[in-house]
Each structure stands twice: as structure tokens, then as C-alpha cells.
């Protein structure tokens, strides 16, 4: 009788445990590895590309859990399209030019104001005063042109992209493209009446432009166009924003501007797709502002970053330019810790671990029971062999039983080596092996043939034949008590 192999061997158990450990290690690596996000950056001639590249380098150098892959574009329309189509997870967006449907704000990278300045004697203080005037523009961007045109048309004027050689027609404003180095000469020769720029008010370029205008004024005073009805304009163009230029921003003696100037502006925003995890969005926002000091050493653009303003969480998420919930978590200091972030995974691992432990314990009990049953079957067979030796018909059958006992003993020994078995079960099996072998050994001895013969030491006498006894030695002749030859008496 051969013991069949167990349905689940020890090697399979070890393999299963190794697979589970590998899966656990892979899960831990997945949780701890850095998340790489693609960010679409534009415009190519703006300050945002340098800022985002510096931010990406800082994340890598700091071994943060978020990394950025920069995807450059020439125009903000292209970067917004990349976010909307899913090519990018983050994007630099100018909402008044192109706003992706799935874009939510993380941070304002640069707030821009439309600044229209002229030497004070020109008398240009409102949009209506631009009628028949020539307006210089230094950096011609499509986005800026769209904003200027919208505001000029709001006041019933028409913007001419090509300035005529003669006088400007009534109800028209001529736009003149210039280099910064040519602006002072253009004012001196009356080629332009004012200059317009859509720029961060505190940017160095803005300071230089206002300085050129101030130098062109005999009184060193500068006139700025104040947009008094900015609220109405924002209602019509909700992707714009109201901006106030504080008095004295461009100089203190004389104060330039002399009073606060209200105007309209736009913003460059770092936006994330709406489906981006709150945790990841919070990390991106947190690191952007935490690394700000180091970023400002790499590019001055970092100094213009600011958080979007809002009063309540509901207002932030329902605004015309809504803020990503992950960014709100950072701004309100409600970021999730490790336990909160991965509590679902922790509970799942604990649940599966408990179930796995129970399954392994049940499997161990089952395997122990199966091992015991296999050895008990062999033990029962050994006891059956011992009991059946008396019925063995011949020596050949006894030899077969002895061979079967050896096979069973070998199978039990191999089974015990490969699989742990209870000591009580093995002791019983060892006793059964010894008993079966002893019984077969006795059955094969010569004495067993004598014991199997008919009772009595003299079979011939029992059959009725004569009895002849030979003395064992000569000295015993005629004197042994059993001798049948006696000397006749005299």
C-alpha cells in the first residue's frame, strides 16, 4: 500500500506566502513612490515656464512625493487644451483667454492689471479720452490684445491694429507696436499718446515703463486710466478680475500714482484637472508655497504667487473660477495625515490579513488531520497484516507480506520527513511496524513447521506401528530404562 501525496504540499504553501509577501511589498512601494504629474506650461515668452521648471527641480532635489514633467507650449490656449483633453494633469491657464472645462485652481501664479499710463498733460484719465489717440503696446500677445480690445469696445471705441499715417478716425484707437527702448523717443516725437501693458503691477518691467512715462512728463506726473465701472465689466466678462493699484507703488516723490487706481486684470493660474486626488492636489499646492523662498532665488516670478481669495469653502468651490478641494485643504490646514490618507487600505489589509490568518490556521488543521489519517491508514494495514499471518498459505505469501511491511514503513518514514506529524501517531505506527515484522518473522522459522504438525512426539506409535528405540550410546545398551532387549533370568 502506498501513501498518496497530500493535495497541498509544503512548497505550495511557501510559494503562496512568498506571493503574498511580494504583493504586500509591491503595495507598500506603490503607496510610498513619488507621483509624477504632467504640467502644461505657457506662454513661451512669459515668466511662468521658468517658475514651473524651478518648481519641478526643487521637488526632485527635495525628494518630495510629487514630481513634475514639464510639457511646454507657446500659447496658453494650447496649455488649456492639454488639460482639457487629458494630456496634462496640471496646466498654466489664463482664464480670460481659454478656460478648460475640467480645470480647478490651485494657485495664482501672477495677477495682471491692465495699466494705461500717459504723461499728465495728455489729460487721458478714462477710456473715453482714448478717442483718436495712439496707444503704444510693448509686448504684443494675443491674450493681451483680446483683453484690450474687449475693454475698448465696451466703451464704444474701435481698436485699430495698424496705426494710420494721418490722424486717427473718430471713435477709434490706434495700437502701435513698439520696443521698450523706443518708447521714450516715441513720446518725445508725439508718435504715441499713452502706453498700455497687461502686467503684474509690481513687476520690474512695469516699474520701468512707468518710469519712461514719468520722464516724458514735464511735471514728472503720470496719469492713469481709472476703470470706475469695473464691477459691471466683470459681470459681462466674469473671467476677468478687479485690480487696485495702490497709491505710490511706482514712486513716492512725487507719489505715483497719486491715488489708488482701479482697473481690470487677468491672472495666470496653475490649474489641476478636477479628477486629481485631493491629497495630491494638496501636496502640489503645499510644496509650491513652502518652496517659495528657494524658487524666488531662481526666478523673481515666485514673488508674485498668491493664494486665490475666498471667504467660505462653499464660495471657493462654487465660484466662477472654482478652487480645487485639495488646495482648500491646504489653505485651511485640513490636510489628511498618513492614517487618514490610507485608512481604507489599512482597514482592507487588516481585514484580509485576519482572513488570511484564519484560512492558514484552518488549512494547517486540515493538513494535520489529513497527515494523521494517512499514517493511521498505514497503521491499520500493518495491524491487519499481523492478524492475517496465521492464514498465510505458504512461504511465498509470507515474503510478500514482509515486503509490504517494508514498503509501508518506508512510506511512513518519508511522510514524517516531508510533513510534520504528531508524535502519538508516529509512535503507534512504529509499534505496528515492529509487531507486524515480529509476527512474520516467527511464522517463517522452522519451529513454526513443528508447531503446525499433529500433537505427540511419536507419530508412528500413534499410527499403530512397532516402536524401535536406538540407544544413544554403548554404555546405555541393556541398561536404559526404555530398552526392549533384556537378558533372560536364570
DSSP string covering 282-347, please? HHHHHHHHHTHHHHHHH-GGGGG-BPPP-SSHHHHHHSSSPBPHHHHHHHTT----HHHHHHHHHH
Q: Which residue has the higher pLDDT, 288 or 313?
A: 288
Q: Which of 214-223, 265-274, 395-404 has the lowest mean pLDDT?
A: 395-404
Q: What is the pLDDT of residue 333?
A: 77
Helices (H) then strands (E): counts for the chain = 16, 13
pLDDT averaged over every residue in the chain: 80
Q: Count CB neighbours of 26 within 10 A.
A: 10
Residue that has been written with the C-alpha cell 492713469 in this structure: 224
CA distances (Å), 195 to each of 134, 141, 369, 469, in order? 8, 15, 94, 157
Average of per-residue pLDDT across 478-490: 38
Q: What is the pLDDT of residue 289?
A: 95
Q: Which residue has the higher pLDDT, 245 or 477?
A: 245
43-52: string of b/e by CB count within 10 Å (b at 16+)? beebbbbbbb
Q: What is the pLDDT of residue 363?
A: 60
User: What confidence category does residue 406 fall into, taking pLDDT thresholds of 50, 70 and 90?
Assistant: confident
CA distances (Å), 84 to each of 40, 138, 316, 324, 448, in order? 11, 31, 21, 15, 100
Q: What is the pTM of this model?
A: 0.64
User: What confidence category does residue 470 fall into, taking pLDDT thresholds of 50, 70 and 90?
Assistant: very low
Q: How many Å apart are CA 490 and CA 484, to the nearest integer?
A: 18
Average of per-residue pLDDT across 173-197: 94
Q: What is the pLDDT of residue 488?
A: 42
Angle, helix 48-61 to helix 278-290, in steps of 10 degrees: 100
Average of per-residue pLDDT across 193-222: 92
Structure-derived torsion over alpha carbons of residues 105, 110, 116, 121, reported in degrees to the nearest 10: 140
Q: What is the pLDDT of residue 123?
A: 83
Contact 92, 41 (CB under 8 A): yes
pLDDT at 414 over 50: yes
Q: Which of 12-26, 89-103, 246-260, 352-366 is most confident?
A: 89-103
Q: Which of 9-23, 149-163, 303-317, 325-339 is most confident?
A: 149-163
Q: What is the pLDDT of residue 478?
A: 39
pLDDT at 78 over 90: yes
**Among residues of the chain, what percentage have pLDDT more than 90?**
42
Residue that has been written with the C-alpha cell 499433529 in this structure: 454
Residue 182, CB half-sphere, CA atoms under 13 Å: how many? 12
Q: How many Å apart are CA 102 and CA 85, to the nearest integer?
A: 9
Q: Which residue has the higher pLDDT, 219 or 451?
A: 219
Q: What is the pLDDT of residue 464?
A: 40
Q: Count CB neighbours of 126 within 10 A.
A: 14
User: What confidence category does residue 441 fall into, taking pLDDT thresholds of 50, 70 and 90?
Assistant: confident
Q: How many Å apart are CA 287 and CA 66, to the nearest integer?
A: 9
Amino acid at each position: 500500500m502506498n501513501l498518496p501525496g497530500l493535495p497541498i504540499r509544503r512548497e505550495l504553501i511557501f510559494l503562496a506566502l512568498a506571493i503574498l509577501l511580494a504583493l504586500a511589498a509591491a503595495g507598500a512601494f506603490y503607496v510610498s513612490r513619488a507621483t509624477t504629474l504632467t504640467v502644461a506650461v505657457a506662454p513661451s515668452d512669459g515668466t511662468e515656464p521658468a517658475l514651473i521648471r524651478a518648481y519641478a527641480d526643487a521637488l526632485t532635489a527635495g525628494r518630495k512625493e510629487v514630481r513634475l514633467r514639464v510639457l511646454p507650449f507657446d500659447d496658453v490656449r494650447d496649455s488649456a487644451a492639454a488639460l482639457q483633453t487629458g494630456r496634462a494633469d496640471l496646466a498654466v491657464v489664463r482664464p480670460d483667454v481659454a478656460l478648460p472645462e475640467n480645470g480647478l485652481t490651485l494657485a495664482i501664479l501672477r495677477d495682471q492689471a491692465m495699466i494705461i499710463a500717459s504723461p499728465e498733460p495728455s489729460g487721458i484719465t478714462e477710456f473715453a479720452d482714448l478717442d483718436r489717440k495712439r496707444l503704444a503696446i510693448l509686448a504684443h500677445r494675443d491674450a493681451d490684445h483680446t483683453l484690450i480690445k474687449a475693454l475698448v469696445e465696451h466703451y464704444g471705441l474701435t481698436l485699430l491694429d495698424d496705426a494710420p499715417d494721418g490722424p486717427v478716425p473718430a471713435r477709434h484707437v490706434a495700437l502701435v507696436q513698439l520696443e521698450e527702448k523706443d518708447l521714450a523717443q516715441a513720446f518725445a516725437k508725439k508718435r504715441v499718446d499713452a502706453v498700455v501693458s497687461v502686467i503684474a503691477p509690481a513687476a520690474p518691467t512695469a516699474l520701468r515703463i512707468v518710469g519712461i512715462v514719468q520722464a516724458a512728463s514735464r511735471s514728472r506726473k503720470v496719469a492713469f486710466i481709472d476703470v470706475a465701472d469695473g464691477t459691471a465689466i466683470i459681470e459681462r466678462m466674469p473671467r476677468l478680475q478687479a485690480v487696485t493699484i495702490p497709491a505710490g507703488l511706482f514712486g513716492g516723490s512725487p507719489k505715483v500714482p497719486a491715488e489708488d487706481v482701479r482697473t481690470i486684470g487677468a491672472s495666470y493660474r496653475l490649474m489641476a484637472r478636477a479628477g486629481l486626488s485631493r491629497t495630491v492636489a494638496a501636496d502640489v499646492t503645499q510644496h509650491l508655497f513652502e518652496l517659495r523662498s528657494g524658487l524666488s532665488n531662481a526666478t523673481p516670478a515666485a514673488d508674485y504667487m498668491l493664494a486665490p481669495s475666498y471667504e467660505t469653502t462653499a464660495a471657493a468651490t462654487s465660484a466662477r473660477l472654482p478652487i480645487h478641494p485639495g488646495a482648500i485643504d491646504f489653505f485651511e490646514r485640513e490636510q489628511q495625515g498618513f492614517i487618514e490618507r490610507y485608512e481604507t487600505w489599512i482597514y482592507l489589509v487588516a481585514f484580509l490579513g485576519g482572513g488570511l490568518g484564519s484560512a492558514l490556521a484552518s488549512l494547517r488543521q486540515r493538513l494535520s488531520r489529513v497527515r494523521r489519517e494517512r499514517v493511521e491508514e498505514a497503521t491499520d494495514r500493518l495491524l491487519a497484516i499481523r492478524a492475517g499471518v496465521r492464514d498465510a498459505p505458504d512461504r511465498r505469501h509470507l515474503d510478500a507480506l514482509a515486503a509490504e511491511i517494508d514498503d509501508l514503513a518506508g512510506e511512513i518514514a518519508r511522510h514524517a520527513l516531508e510533513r510534520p506529524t504528531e508524535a502519538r501517531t508516529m509512535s503507534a505506527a512504529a509499534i505496528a511496524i515492529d509487531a507486524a515484522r515480529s509476527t512474520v518473522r516467527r511464522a517463517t522459522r522452522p519451529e513454526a513447521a513443528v508447531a503446525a504438525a499433529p500433537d505427540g512426539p511419536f507419530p508412528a506409535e500413534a499410527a499403530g506401528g512397532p516402536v524401535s528405540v536406538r540407544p544413544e550410546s554403548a554404555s546405555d545398551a541393556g541398561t536404559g530404562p526404555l530398552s526392549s532387549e533384556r537378558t533372560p533370568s536364570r
